[in-house]
Amino acid sequence: MFSWSTIVENLPYLLQATRFTLLVSGLGMGLGLVMGIVLCVARLSPIRWISRIAALYVSFFRGVPLLVQLLLAYYFLPSVGIDIPPLWAAVCSIGLCAAAYIAEILRGALIAVPHGQAEAAAALGMHPFTIWKRILIPQALKISMPSLVNELIMLVKVSSLVSAVGIVELTRMSQSISAATFRPLEIYIAAAAIYLVINLALAGLGQALEKRLDY
Amino acid sequence: MDIDLFVQYGPILLCGLLNTVLCWIVGAAGGVALGFVIAVAMYYGPRPLRYVLRGYIEVIRGTPFLIQLFILYYGGPNIGLRLDPVPAGILGLIIYGSPYYAEIFRAGLQAVPRGMIEAGRAMAMSEGTILRRITLPILMVSSVPPLTNFSIILTKETAILSIVTVPELLYQVQTMSAETFAYMEAMFALALFYWGFVEVISWAGRKLELKTNAFLSKELSA
């Protein structure tokens, strides 16, 4: 009853679409990291209204389901005359949402760096920029590494949602194939297996990275 | 924005909201129950069972919720499992949530102070009594914050159920916008609604946490 041949025949198509899953989640992570750092700095800013805006951003993007955010971007961008390919709109949506989570991860990590170290550095006359570069960021990065890898794994999983706005990545491709072959069980299990392999690999990579950063 | 639209579609939207809340509450409660059973089985069960459950946890946590729903809803009929959208959505949420809840309970079980269990044994309590009178009460209290936290995350996952035609809030809003072409307004209003909804639940969760925290400190210092 379980048709292995369906999986074997369609595996090349699934793997081809997997590239877009990796592309969307990878670019989303990149954008999320950049925006997340900016947001985190804004959140910790002593100027009240800047930190308020950053907090509002984090609360909105963490409070609204990503699928709703994706649909919002999908309808919103054309309605204000911004005409960018759907793939980029999806990457931006995922990145904007990831930024909110990453900002909180980084904030938690920065708070976890003992306060005395930054004070000691300031007492030694280090420039604030040097303090960030030499003391705060290296340690915060190490503390936040497991959470950041987790976030990347989350992104690979939520990238399946961009199928809803018509981007042909792994999930969308398996939808088309199962519609064409009438074998949804086999195809979706194959897709699940591919996602699982990617995420287990990322988790393993994260552990190796953690060991290297362990000094 | 057209207010009449929301009046006209009020009943449908309300029905969608009820479905969202229903799926969330039943899904979260079922997930907590299943997660609890898994955690207890992993803690007390034999080694082979532990490996099987560990595999289950890794597989469910390593795959997207959407794919799990597709397997359940579209793949299910292939093996004789035919479900209506709402039961399929609820079952999907239970399965998706269970490993996360199981991990919370597992961490909670490991955090029960060993000395308390040893003290129970020294008092000649049976293992069952120790579980009922010592381990479970402490576990229940210490797990409340992470449990509420994940349950809040689960509210947002209910939006994904719209893709497998569960008539929840997002699905109804999409139906409405397809009939009225008011995509932008409807989606924007929906985003604001979810935002408020999640904020209110988080606020309630923090209140609950404060209450149980006070209880926990009393419990442990007594």
- For B125-176, what is each residue's pLDDT tens digit? 998 899 888 888 888 888 888 898 899 889 999 999 999 888 888 988 888 8
What architecture does CATH give domain B3-221? Orthogonal Bundle (1.10)
ipTM of the complex: 0.88
Spatial neighbors of B92 by CB under 8 A, at least 6 apart, are B27, B65, B68, B69, B72, B73, B161, B164
B63: left (phi over 0), alpha (psi -120 to 50) or beta: beta
**Chain B interface with A: residues with Cβ < 8 Å:** 58-59, 62-68, 70-71, 74-76, 78-79, 156-160, 162-163, 170, 174, 183-184, 187-188, 190-191, 194-195, 197-199, 202
Minimal C-alpha gap between A196 and chain B (Å): 5
A183 shares contact with chain B (CB less than 8 Å) = yes
Helix axis angle, A4-43 to A170-181, nearest 10°: 160
Residue A195 is nearest to which of B64, B160, B190, comparing CB atoms? Answer: B64
pLDDT tens column, B42-71: 988 899 999 999 999 999 999 999 999 999
pLDDT at B216 over 50: yes
Spatial neighbors of A168 by CB under 8 A, at least 6 apart, are A17, A20, A176
Q: Do A178 and B74 touch (CB under 8 A)?
A: yes
Domain positions in chain B: 3-221
- pLDDT score at B221: 47
**Chain A hits for B203, Cβ within 8 Å:** none
How many alpha carbons lie under 13 Å from residue A80 in its C-beta half-sphere? 8
Q: Do A184 and B78 touch (CB under 8 A)?
A: yes
Q: What is the pLDDT averaged over residues A101-107?
A: 92
- pLDDT score at B2: 62
Q: Do B184 and A79 touch (CB under 8 A)?
A: yes
The percentage of chain A sitting over the pLDDT mark of 90, rounded to a whole number, equals 52
Q: Do B159 and A68 touch (CB under 8 A)?
A: yes
Closest-CA residue of A relative to B75 is A185
Q: How many CB atoms lie within 10 A of CB A169?
A: 23
Burial annotation B96-130 (CB, 10 A radius, 16+ → b, else e): bbbbbbbbbbbebbeebeeeebeebeeeebeeeeb
Distance (Å, whole) CA A70 – CA A81: 17
Q: Do B162 and A67 touch (CB under 8 A)?
A: yes
Q: List the domains of chain A with CATH numbers.
A: 4-213 (1.10.3720.10)
Q: Is residue A130 within a helix (H) or strand (E), and if so which, with residue range?
A: helix A128-131
Token pair of A48 as six digits = 């009240």
When scoring B23, B58, B59, B63 by the number of chain A Cβ atoms within 10 A, the one with the most, hence best to mutate, is: B63
Minimal C-alpha gap between A122 and chain B (Å): 37
pLDDT tens column, A163-180: 988 889 999 999 999 988
Residue A192 is nearest to which of B71, B158, B199, comparing CB atoms? Answer: B71
- Alpha helices (H) in A64-114, listed in sequence order: 66-79, 86-112
Minimal C-alpha gap between B120 and chain A (Å): 37
Q: According to the 3-state scheme, what is the secondary structure of B43-105?
A: HHCCHHHHHHHHHHHHHHHHCCHHHHHHHHHHHHHHHCCCCCHHHHHHHHHHHHHHHHHHHHH
Minimal C-alpha gap between B111 and chain A (Å): 21
A73 closest CA partner among B208, A82, A171: A82
Question: Which sign, positive or negative, has the C-alpha torsion A173, A13, A90, A38?
Answer: positive
Token pair of A117 as six digits = 């170290």
Q: What is the pLDDT averaged over residues B8-32?
A: 91
pLDDT band, very low/low/confident/very high, at A82 (cuts 50, 70, 90): confident
